Amino acid sequence: MIVLGIESSCDECSVAIVRDGEEILANIVATQIEEHLEYQGVVPEIASRLHAEWIVPVYRDAIKAAGIKPSDIDAVAVTARPGLVGSLMVGVCFAKSLAWSLGVPLVGVDHILGHLYAPNLQAPIAYPALGVLVSGGHTIICSMKGVHEVEVLGTTLDDAVGEAFDKVAKHYNWGYPGGVIIDKMAQEGDATAFAFPVSNLAHKGHTYDVSYSGLKTAVAYQRPQFLKHGDIDNQANIAASFQKAAIETMMLPIMRALEDTGHKTLIVGGGVAANSYFRKRLSELEGVDCFFPSLSLCTDNAAMIAGYGYHCLLRGDRSDLSLRPEPRIMRFQKKLQKDVQKAAQK
Ligand code: KG4
Ligand code: ZN
């Protein structure tokens, strides 16, 4: 089955064509980074207007790159939630029109589940698994019985991890988006120059949660207090020490969740999954099979939407022309640690 996927939830306008949920025939991603650069963040109004301009050319490029005709498309999958409402609207409206004009099924899918599906595009994954979604908008640790069945164990109490990278980079004027830039700067820096705080919420009833507000404040305003050695204004050292603290903050609940659930498979998705220090730390975990998407499948792309959409279609999910974009979703509720341990013992 050939599924055409559409992703427009934030600042990437993407159309992909994927066969049977695994073979990527085309994955065109038009990024708006340059257009948002001067604001050091995504401006929703600009994002939706650009999606409206770009969606048709990106669709045409995808059809051409895949070497197919529109009539070869068997179904259309589109990110319907969560995201910026104006941006989602463009993708959803285009998807509805395309599916209607071709007379093929349409399915609106969840962006979060798309990110967690991305590693499946490279290798078959045996579930159950621990899923970790780390992006600019989300930080989620979850137990997965399959591609659809997700039980949220932990999330962030304040900023998403990618957002923390972006805000620190913005504070120091290092550029946008911050994640890639900090990752690069950190290669030249000493990660032990500053001992920035690593939040550990285990004792406060937030076993698998993280928080980034303390780290952000320390890096931006209180770095003299955390200086271990070296030069207080050495930018590469600040970047490397921040990156280390931000990633170690994620590692603690991930290790606790692996232990409590007994999962031996780990799936990581989202923009921060591209981080070189995070990838290194996760691949060092013993007794765990760790699946990362390739770098281009970490950040927003439509291949993950077409791939995950295929599985939604297989189980009979269909959307009709009443499909509406939903900026927020409530279904990612947390499970408490005692319930996680009880479930693992069964
Ligand atoms: O998944 P994504 O493209 O969009 C959302 O769904 O949010 O993630 C974008 C986020 C941004 O915050 C960006 O700074 C971060 O991913 N990011 C990284 C790296 N590459 C992208 N963060 C750390 N290290 C990276 N190499
Ligand atoms: Zn995303």
- The reported pLDDT for the residue numbered 335 is 65
Q: How far is the CA of 309 from the centre of ligand 1 (A)?
A: 22
Residue of 29, 134, 299, 305 to test ligand 1 pocket, by largest number of atoms within 8 Å of CB: 299
Neighbouring residues of 222: CB distance < 8 A, sequence distance ≥ 6: none
Q: How far is the CA of 172 from the centre of ligand 1 (A)?
A: 18
Sheet holding 2-7, edge to edge: 23-31, 12-19, 2-7, 75-81, 106-110
**pLDDT reading at 63 higher than 90:** yes
Residue in the structure block whose two tokens are 């509406």: 324
- The reported pLDDT for the residue numbered 145 is 97
Q: Which atom of ligand 1 is nearest to the CA of 276?
A: 26
Q: Which two tokens stand for residue 122?
A: 């490279």
Q: How far is the CA of 11 from the centre of ligand 1 (A)?
A: 12
3-state secondary structure of 113: helix
Q: How far is the CA of 166 from the centre of ligand 1 (A)?
A: 8
Q: Would you place residue 337 in the very low, low, confident or very high pLDDT band (cuts 50, 70, 90)?
A: low
- The reported pLDDT for the residue numbered 205 is 82
- The reported pLDDT for the residue numbered 336 is 65
- Cβ atoms 179, 166 nearer than 8 A: yes
* Residue ranges lining ligand 1, Cβ < 6 Å: 10, 135-137, 162-163, 165-166, 177-180, 183, 270-272, 274-275, 299-300
Q: Would you place residue 143 in the very low, low, confident or very high pLDDT band (cuts 50, 70, 90)?
A: very high
Residue of the CA atom closest to atom 3 of ligand 1? 299
Neighbouring residues of 346: CB distance < 8 A, sequence distance ≥ 6: none
Residue of 11, 159, 170, 180 to test ligand 1 pocket, by largest number of atoms within 8 Å of CB: 180
Span 152-174, pLDDT tens digits: 999 999 999 999 999 999 999 99
**pTM for the structure as a whole:** 0.94
Residue in the structure block whose two tokens are 């980034």: 212
Residue of the CA atom closest to atom 14 of ligand 1? 179
Complete DSSP assignment for 247-303: HHHHHHHHHHHHHHH---EEEEESGGGG-HHHHHHHHT-TT-EEE---HHHHSS-SH
Span 267-292, pLDDT tens digits: 999 999 999 999 999 999 999 999 99
Q: Which two tokens stand for residue 209?
A: 């949660």
**pLDDT reading at 340 higher than 80:** no
Instruction: Indicate the DSSP class of residue 71.
Output: G
Q: Which atom of ligand 1 is nearest to the CA of 138?
A: 7
Q: Which two tokens stand for residue 172?
A: 């120091």
Q: How far is the CA of 308 from the centre of ligand 1 (A)?
A: 20
Residue in the structure block whose two tokens are 């500053």: 194
Span 90-126, pLDDT tens digits: 999 999 999 999 999 999 999 999 999 999 999 999 9
